[in-house]
Amino acid sequence: MQTIRRQIIDLLRQQEFNAREISQALSIMEKEVYGHLEHIDRTIGRHAMKMVVLPYTCLSCGYSFVGRRRWTRPSRCPVCRRGHIRMAAYRIEAL
């Protein structure tokens, strides 16, 4: 039996997923996924891999949350103040 983090790594090496899709695939809460992603991002560099993050994007005005350090989903856009945010997507690539 693999650990949750190992299962997430295996999923993200196969294709791109957002946190909700990961939580559904592994039957865990979405909030748990963010903690695992943060830890995975810090540790996969030792194994010649990197995490590629397609940033959150506001669906109302198009603002992209590039450079955001938090892994959790933003509640609203800092530009237009609306809450229509497309989730970030993640994948793991070899260096």
pLDDT recorded at residue 27: 96
Q: What is the tally of structural domains in the chain?
A: 1
CATH of residue 73: 1.10.10
pLDDT recorded at residue 60: 96
Sheet-wide strand order for 17-18: 17-18, 89-94, 49-54
H/E/C letters for each residue in 22-80? HHHHHCCCHHHHHHHHHHHHHHHHHHCEEEEEECCEECCCCCECCCCCCCCCCCCCCCC
pLDDT recorded at residue 55: 97
pTM for the full predicted model: 0.89
Q: Which residues of the chain have pLDDT under 70?
A: none
pLDDT tens readout for residues 70-84: 999 999 999 999 999
pLDDT recorded at residue 1: 74
User: Rounded to an integer, what distance in angstroms lies between the CA atom of residue 15 and that of residue 39?
Assistant: 19
**What domain range includes position 31?**
4-94
